[in-house]
Structure 1
Amino acid sequence: MSRRPRPHQPMRPAWLCRNCAAPWPCAPAQLHLATEFYGHSVALAFYLAANMQDAVHDLYSLGVHPDPRALHARFLGWLSLTRRPHRYDVR
């Protein structure tokens, strides 16, 4: 009997991956999110921005002063890699 792989979900309030313990969103979580939100990059950006805001709040509640640039890179910086190019038919 084969076990299903565990999803790469955030463990709050530390915002580490429950599966691999990497900072969330880890690479497998990014791949899953890019697939799940394929064609809906704005919705993905809103989802990740909301999670980033929750992470800021959680980290401050733990007494950690997170670096805003690092959090932005972690949560939103990889989004440009997921955008599919627009093709226009010029006739």
Structure 2
Amino acid sequence: MPDAYRAEPASPGADDGRRATPANGTPAGPTGPERYVMLRPYGGFRAHTPARPLFRCRACGALWPCGRARLVLIAMYRDNPAGLRAHLTARLALALADQPDADPATLTARFLGWIPADR
């Protein structure tokens, strides 16, 4: 930490107990509830990514893409539906290679069947 900052006890009742304060005594950054967003920008968010070879969600254990993963993917590719299809088709190809005994129609429905129709 630069010499211009020193650690000082936070306000009474704060659960982290300390915050950085410039040497002049004014708080560095937000001091209310918004400071937790600054310290932990994603809060308790855990990425819902696939774990190979079964393609189960790393965060919740559901079959991937789970509900949360679908929401994130829709948001990420909202302006690029073809990109979403390409991304999920690539994941489908990996799943088919990792699970040669799985029913291809079932995997295809799981990976691509939930995508909204093109506008």
TM range (shorter): 0.7 to 0.9
Aligned-partner residue type, residue 65 of structure 2: P
**Structure 1 gap segments, 5+ residues each:** 86-91
Match of 1:31 among 62, 71, 91: 71
Higher helix share: 1
Give the match for residue 19 of structure 1.
Answer: 59
Match of 1:45 among 85, 92, 95: 85
What number of residue pairs does the alignment pair up?
Answer: 79
Deviation at 1:39, TM superposition (A): 1.5
Aligned-partner residue type, residue 8 of structure 1: H
Q: Report matched runs for 1:1-91 at 5 Å.
A: 3-60=43-100, 65-80=101-116, 83=118, 85=119
Higher strand share: 2
TM-score (norm 2): 0.61
Which contiguous aligned blocks of 4+ residues in structure 1 show a shift greater than 4 angstroms? none
Question: How well do the aligned residues superpose, as a CA RMSD in angstroms?
Answer: 1.5
Aligned-partner residue type, residue 73 of structure 2: L
Higher relative contact order (CA 8 A, sep 6+): 1
- Structure with larger Rg: 2
